[in-house]
Structure 1
């Protein structure tokens, strides 16, 4: 069978022509259902409805959110997901789509999970990947900025990696999966361009010196959660000159 891993940005408005054509050729799409009333699942359903593709919702295995060993906990969660999706693919066959938020190359486990299914061999799988609009691209566009300085690198890290990036002397850092406000503690002199729920009706944007805008970020984050029921945020941080 064939699996197509498709980047969808933040919803129907970001689906590229290439992804749209691929989705039309799929028999169904597969997505995790994390809870009753899952708002993110509902957006995936909107994408599927737009292209006449049924969506199969798979209950997401429980995940330890405060593990002693983060990598081991994520590996166990991924294996549980592999087993859950493998059952669905084995039962249905055909051509299946996985709809990935943003772009499949950044902080998403779908590609690893599908590759693992293929490696296990219980369900013969061939897969390909089509890119989507990523959160860093949306952040730069919304703030009308270039992510890096002239001739300088930009580093992309999850929130838990920010401290190490700062300690290493990096001066341009994109922080994804930001979590709660304390991720910026100790960086009050840095500049920040922050966004939450980019590309959606609950989008929020804040920019300025970290020490000046922390309260605004906290308030904006609360508004985004209240409107959408969830928050995905991202920020570009630059060390002061």
Structure 2
């Protein structure tokens, strides 16, 4: 048995030659099925088909998404349920399986953690193939560098944004932003991208106070066009 964790960027056009070779070696792709409106499952299926692998859709266990007090605990429970579901498939099918990860497996994705736990229960070899990440795409689309000369960039989530700013961070890539609280940041600069690398891509940049409405409209257009939305932002304090 073997598992390959493959970063696929934002779709078939971002599959690197290394990732493509890995996919050709796989018998099937395991993918979470989040219901009839899961457009990303269709994209995973298209990638699997292109490289001759079947797709095994596994009903995704429910997760508390209502901002629970114990957020890490809720995610941990969800991951444990996923591990159990994937273990069942792997025991039944064996062979070489792939997990397709949006963006890059190293950044705000738990597939590596899940496969690590599976490796404690089952005997298999596994490896990780990198993909094009959302921050990379954001910088490329806006033709910018994510940080000043010799300066850091802080990668965080919308959930942690206010705490990170209070701690003194002034140059932040913000991911996982189902909602983005920009109150008090009107004089900051923002570079934003929704559904980067897809036909529903939307870009907005400028002074926060000047583009608030544009940000909301762009996100709504991306969701309406694709049926889903993933966005990422660079926020930078005034110099």
**TM interval, short-chain normalised:** over 0.9
Match of 1:76 in 2: 77
| Superposed CA offset, 1:201-232 (max 9, x none) | 11000000001001000000000010111110
CA contact (8 A) 1:221 1:231 kept: yes
Aligned residues: 238
Match of 1:237 in 2: 235
| Superposed CA offset, 1:74-95 (max 9, x none) | 0000000000001001110000
In structure 2, C-alpha distance between the alignment counterparts of 1:183 and 1:42, rounded to whole Å: 31
Moved over 6 A (4+): none
Q: Structure 1: where are the runs of 5+ without partners?
A: none
| Superposed CA offset, 1:14-69 (max 9, x none) | 00000000000001010000111310000111111111110111000000012121
| Superposed CA offset, 1:80-136 (max 9, x none) | 0000001001110000000000000000010000101112x2x21221101000000
- Is structure 2 residue 87 aligned with structure 1 residue 89? no
The 5 Å alignment of 1:156-195 reads 156-180=155-179, 182-195=180-193
Match of 1:198 in 2: 196
In structure 2, C-alpha distance between the alignment counterparts of 1:234 and 1:125, rounded to whole Å: 35
Q: SS of the counterpart of 1:142?
A: helix
In structure 2, C-alpha distance between the alignment counterparts of 1:133 and 1:176, rounded to whole Å: 15
Q: SS of the counterpart of 2:46?
A: helix
Match of 2:35 in 1: 35
Q: SS of the counterpart of 1:201?
A: coil
- Is structure 2 residue 154 aligned with structure 1 residue 143? no
Out of 210, 215, 220, which is 1:222 matched to?
220
CA contact (8 A) 1:117 1:125 kept: no
Q: SS of the counterpart of 1:183?
A: coil
Q: Structure 2: where are the runs of 5+ without partners?
A: none
Q: SS of the counterpart of 1:6?
A: strand
Aligned Cα root-mean-square deviation (Å):
0.8
